[in-house]
Amino acid sequence: MLVIEDEEPIRKFLRIALESNEFAVIEAADGQEGIRQAATAQPDAVLLDLGLPDIDGLEVIKRIREWSQMPLIVLSARGQENDKVGALELGADDYLTKPFGVRELLVRLKVSLRHQQQRHTGGEPAVFSSGPLEIDLARRIVKLRGEQVHLTPIEYKLLQILTRYAGKVVTHRQLLIEVWGPNNTGDTHYLRQYMGHLRHKLEIDPAKPVLLLTEPGVGYRFSEETTEDHTS
Amino acid sequence: MMTERPNPDALLEAIDRPEDLGRGRLKIFFGAAPGVGKTYAMLEAAARELKSGVDIVIGYLEPHQRPDTTALAQGLPAIPPKYFEHRGVQLSEFDLDAALARKPKLIIVDELAHTNAPGSANNKRWQDIEHLLAAGIDVYTTLNVQHLETINDVVAQATGVAVRETVPDAVFEGAWEVELIDLPPDELIARLKSGKVYIAEQAQRASESFFKKGNLIALRDLALRQTADRLDRQLDKYRRIQTDGGSLAVYEKLLVCVGPSPLSAKLVRAAGRMAASLRCRWLAVHIDIIGRAGVSSNVRERVLKNLRLAEQLGAETAILPATEMVSDLLKFASDHNISKIIVGKPQNPRWKELIFGSFVYTLTRRCREIDVYVISGDPEKGPARPTTARIAKTFDYLGYGGSVAIVAGCTAVNWLLRRHVDPLNLVMVYLIGVVMASSRFRRGPSILTALLSVLVFDFLFVVPYWTFAVSDTEYLFTFACMLLTGLVISSLTYRLRSQSEILRERGQRTARLFQFSRTLAECKTRLELITTAAATLAEAAGTRAGVILAADDGRLGLDSPASQFPLTPQLHAVASWALEHDQPAGSGTSVLSASTATFYPLVINSQKLGVAGFEASETSMLPDPERLALIEALIDVLKNTLDRLNLTEQAEKARLDAEAERVRNILLSTVSHDLRTPLAAIEGAGTTLLENGETLKPEARRALLNTVVEEVDYLNRLVGNLLDATRIDGGTVILKKEWQSAEEMVGSVVHRLKRLLSDRPVIINLADHLPLFRADAILFNQVLINLLENSAKFSQSGSPIEIGGRQTSEGIEITISDRGSGIAEEDLPYLFDKFFRGRQSTERQGAGLGLAVCKGIIELHGGSIRAENRNSGGAKFIIIMPFESPPAAEAEPIAG
């Protein structure tokens, strides 16, 4: 695990938290050092602070992504929503807003690692299942608590993308491009409406969603936490 | 306007002239006539100075000098003259700008009395030289005696040659040094004959008569006398300072009465000489009889010209509106401590004086301790007084016609009454007519009415009828009484009326000024104010006007949005001069009079506010005094308004500063308190765990750790709100508006505040198909978070929080309600103020920023937020977001 972060106390906290969860930790205090460590030590995942003293955190993502798809989680301060979206679009896997708790960190990390593994084992499973939801990807059938739910093609497409990245945040832009094509990236209006429809069909209380969560200003996330909440 | 007599200190100052520190010194090489060798002497002196290392330069020498003069000049550095093209003739002029840029220690500029070519910045060379002196440059110049303003007419009288180019005596008087270059007349004539004096061809013929021996003797006498007088005055001044101010106990002050006639100019010059020899201040006053039959602008202009002459000779001038010449003049004189009054010898025929009384006689009889000097006029010399022209121009047909009609009316009435009423009583009817006439018409028609009445009465109603003959001599007495009564009545009525006219005029002027100041007060912006002012001034002056404001550093801006005429760089320079010296400048004034506009400074308490400018037009070169007075009064009002505006702005700024200071203080105290409390808790928990970690029970340890997490959470929110508040206040927030769904927003916030709201039900009741609205996701989320936290804080654990959403006529309404104790009525108006904390005390109040931030954010979106108490108990916050119709979503079939 590579931690690129200039603030010493945060590095310390991350090292303790991660090591006690059986991750090995290497540290870098600035961007250049971080890129070098990422190349030489080949970590399983990177935790990257966006506000680095030497080079822009976004630049670090770009440089790492030139040669590696390793999971990369961005740590950012509040009020840097644009940077977050930028980081995600440059290929970061997920983000955490400071201050954050250990549990949140571990959840994000595990999801990213799992997705990385999936990429390696290759392909998506034929059937997606999370909590009460079950999707037969081959036959395009969605079942909620065993009952089939009728979705429009756009709703289905949205759900499919969100579940493909289950647990990870998907930006508005990414959704718009994948569903409506690259020319419609400005119309978040449609997105909101279809997400609304989808919630009405899948959530028990659409105003208190548990599956389709909103990340304000960034995008949506298909939550797996319902299941994890029960287990933890 | 008037100054009291100077004290010794002032006189000391006058000698030392500390106000002239940094001012250049003027040396005049003074002579009786051309050819005495002034220029040569000047160049010699300059050459000496050059040898002793003074930075000296020739500014201008008249061309065609004698060879030895030219040779002398060649040894000195010179500034090349400026060349002008005027009506096909090439003229060379002194280049003032170049001289100012060169800034030598000493400059030579020949011919002080020279008039500059049209189009130059200054009319006269002596004005150029004033500029040089003001810039701290010493000047050598030459002057012939006949060019001195006050003796101009004496010279004309003595030599028969009128000199038009004159120099104010003040320049001569104010010179640092005057060196007389003297040459006996015979020698001068000899030099002239041997061709040693160059005289331009066009002047050749004039000079033949000028260079007569008699003339030269007279001029030499004048030159010597002027120089001696100047020396005498200096010596006297010095002596007076040496002794003490006591010898000045009787301080003289002269007053000269000025009229339109050219004789008045002579009077003014005489008064100037007298004042100079008495070394006293003097006033030139024109008595303006109010209500006198329309004075032609021609006359007015000539009066102003005479007054201007007096000003140039160093007098203070005034126009005195009067109803009665003598008493008003004497009142003015005593108000201003006048010791001597100078008047012209009356030109009126003797009979007129007998009938209407003599001004001079009345004045001398009533003047008490004031001396009256009567100076003779010289009627043949001046051009004929254009009185006939004036009367013809203003002949009052209406008045005279009216008076004839009135007499005819009275006669008709008397004709009817003649059999029933005694003729003597018929006179009464005519007297009524006289009163009527004099109450409506001017003096002339009133007198006519009285005369006509007597004649008609005699003709028709006195035996023998139909003749002017009178059989009963007693009637002669009646006629006399009738005429006298008529005249007295007409005179009294007339005076009464003219007084009421004055009052009316004054009232109108006051009303106009009042109206102006009210209009100005109504102006919202400074630009509007000066534009309005410019319009009013333009109307009053009858020409295009402009108001130009100065910046904070007292300099005029280059753009003039409130000027009706373009402010060229030249005019800008004139305006700047006016402002800089707090003195009117430009056309019609003595400074920079060649420019095409006049500028009045707007200076109050030595604060330079700006200038008011008037474009010079053909007709308004010399505005009449009433108009001028009105303009000046308007400018005063403008000045005061601007000053008041400045003061108000300063007060407002001070208030805002104080307010900012207050907020800063609250911020500091809040931040220090609200940040320290959680920090103390965290430190306490941390140190306890550190010291006693092993011995603590697991529950206790967990409780301490919980404290740390909760306090950190609180701090995080506090810092977030502080940052938001700062960003909103600083105006640095850039809204990233996107279409938002209320359901989604509420959902994400409730999800995020899961832990905080875990102890109570959250009832969400959003209307179906609630339209989307446009908002910045992050900021709007913050609003909902703050409101939910607020509701949670002010209501009991376990009590529900309700979130509602619906579309109303105002927009999208989102409400957050609790079942707490509600908001105290007196707190409601201040609820959304920064750092306001409700009076209800709970364990933790927060910095009082959360709701202020909500209000800030919602208002940035063009929405509104308010709070109220619910009838059933608890508080309710209502957000209304503006509704925009979103693009419709396309219908889509349901997938199988």
The neighbour count for residue B600, using CB atoms within 10 Å, is 25
Instruction: Report the pLDDT value the prediction gives residue A186, as an integer from 0 to 100.
Output: 66
Instruction: Report the pLDDT value the prediction gives residue B160, as an integer from 0 to 100.
Output: 72
The answer to whether the CB atoms of B772 and A99 lie below 8 A apart is: no
More confident residue, B279 or A168: A168
**Residues B441-499: pLDDT tens digits?**
777 788 888 888 888 888 888 878 888 877 777 778 877 887 888 788 777 877 787 77
pLDDT, chain B, mean: 79
Q: What angle do CA A82, A84, A90 make, to 5 degrees?
A: 105
Q: Is the pLDDT of residue B894 over 70?
A: no
What would the two tokens of residue B556 be?
Answer: 């005029």
Interface test with B, best of A95, A155, A189, A226 (most B CBs within 10 A): A189
**Residues A172-212: pLDDT tens digits?**
888 888 888 877 766 778 888 889 989 999 988 888 888 89
**Residues B691-738: pLDDT tens digits?**
887 888 888 888 888 888 888 888 888 888 888 887 777 777 778 888
- Of the candidates A153, A192, A217, the beta carbon closest to that of B739 is on A192
Average pLDDT over residues B618-623: 49
Q: Lowest-confidence range among A95-99, B25-29, B744-748?
A: A95-99
Q: Which of A47-56, B344-353, B366-375 has the highest mean pLDDT?
A: A47-56
Q: Are strands B737-740 and B253-257 parallel, antiparallel or unpaired?
A: unpaired
Phi-psi region of B846 (alpha: psi -120 to 50; beta: other; left: phi over 0): left
Q: Lowest-confidence range among A60-74, B13-27, B622-636?
A: B13-27
Q: Are strands B26-31 and A46-49 parallel, antiparallel or unpaired?
A: unpaired
Mapped onto helix, strand or coil, the DSSP state of residue B303 is helix
Instruction: Report the pLDDT value the prediction gives residue B693, as an integer from 0 to 100.
Output: 76
The answer to whether the CB atoms of A208 and B895 lie below 8 A apart is: no
- Confirm or reject contact between A9 and chain B (CB < 8 A): no
Q: Is the pLDDT of residue B203 over 70?
A: no
Distance, CA of B557 to CA of B610 (rounded, Å): 9
Instruction: Report the pLDDT value the prediction gives residue B888, as an integer from 0 to 100.
Output: 58
State residue B817 phi and psi, 5-degree precision: -125, 150
Q: Is the pLDDT of residue B644 over 80?
A: yes
Q: Which residues of A touch B725 (CB under 8 A)?
A: none
More confident residue, A91 or B518: A91
Instruction: Report the pLDDT value the prediction gives residue B5, as an integer from 0 to 100.
Output: 44
Q: Which H or E run includes B364?
A: helix B359-366
CA B613 from chain center: how many Å? 9
Q: Is the pLDDT of residue B745 over 80?
A: yes
Average pLDDT over residues A25-41: 91
What would the two tokens of residue B713 be?
Answer: 């959470």
Confidence of residue A230 (pLDDT cuts 50, 70, 90): very low
> How close does chain B come to A38, measured CA to CA in Å?
32
Q: The dihedral of CA B718, B724, B728, B732: what is its sign?
A: positive
Q: What angle do CA B638, B643, B645 make, to 5 degrees?
A: 95
Asked if B343 and B254 count as a contact pair (C-beta separation under 8 A), the reply is no
Distance, CA of B232 to CA of B236 (rounded, Å): 6
Instruction: Report the pLDDT value the prediction gives residue B784, as an integer from 0 to 100.
Output: 92
Q: How many interface pairs between A and B have CB atoms less than 8 angstroms apart?
A: 89
Average pLDDT over residues B352-366: 76
The answer to whether the CB atoms of B745 and A156 lie below 8 A apart is: no
Confidence of residue A73 (pLDDT cuts 50, 70, 90): very high
Q: Nearest Cα to B145, choosing from B40, B215, B234?
A: B215
Confidence of residue B82 (pLDDT cuts 50, 70, 90): confident
The neighbour count for residue B517, using CB atoms within 10 Å, is 17
Asked if B449 and B485 count as a contact pair (C-beta separation under 8 A), the reply is no
The answer to whether the CB atoms of B895 and A190 lie below 8 A apart is: no
- Of the candidates B709, B889, B895, the beta carbon closest to that of A190 is on B889
Confidence of residue A47 (pLDDT cuts 50, 70, 90): very high
Q: What percent of chain B has pLDDT over 70?
A: 85
The answer to whether the CB atoms of A79 and B896 lie below 8 A apart is: no
The answer to whether the CB atoms of B762 and A192 lie below 8 A apart is: no
Distance, CA of B224 to CA of B231 (rounded, Å): 11
Q: Which residues pair with B881 in a beta bridge?
A: B812
**Residues B414-426: pLDDT tens digits?**
888 888 888 778 8
Distance, CA of B882 to CA of B891 (rounded, Å): 26
**Residues B207-244: pLDDT tens digits?**
666 778 888 888 888 888 888 888 877 776 666 555 54
Contacts of B398 (CB under 8 A, 6+ apart): B441
Q: Are strands B281-289 and B316-322 parallel, antiparallel or unpaired?
A: parallel
> How close does chain A come to B744, measured CA to CA in Å?
7
Distance, CA of B721 to CA of B728 (rounded, Å): 10
Mapped onto helix, strand or coil, the DSSP state of residue B32 is coil
Confidence of residue B394 (pLDDT cuts 50, 70, 90): low
The answer to whether the CB atoms of A192 and B740 lie below 8 A apart is: yes
> How close does chain A come to B649, measured CA to CA in Å?
37
The answer to whether the CB atoms of A192 and B751 lie below 8 A apart is: no
Instruction: Report the pLDDT value the prediction gives residue B385, as an integer from 0 to 100.
Output: 40
- Confirm or reject contact between A225 and chain B (CB < 8 A): no
Instruction: Report the pLDDT value the prediction gives residue B6, as an integer from 0 to 100.
Output: 43
Distance, CA of A216 to CA of B332 (rounded, Å): 85
The answer to whether the CB atoms of A207 and B736 lie below 8 A apart is: no
State residue B819 phi and psi, 5-degree precision: -115, 35
- Does pTM surpass 0.80? no
**Residues B664-674: pLDDT tens digits?**
777 777 667 77
Q: Lowest-confidence range among B74-88, B101-115, B309-323?
A: B309-323
Confidence of residue A61 (pLDDT cuts 50, 70, 90): very high
Eight-class DSSP state of B114: P
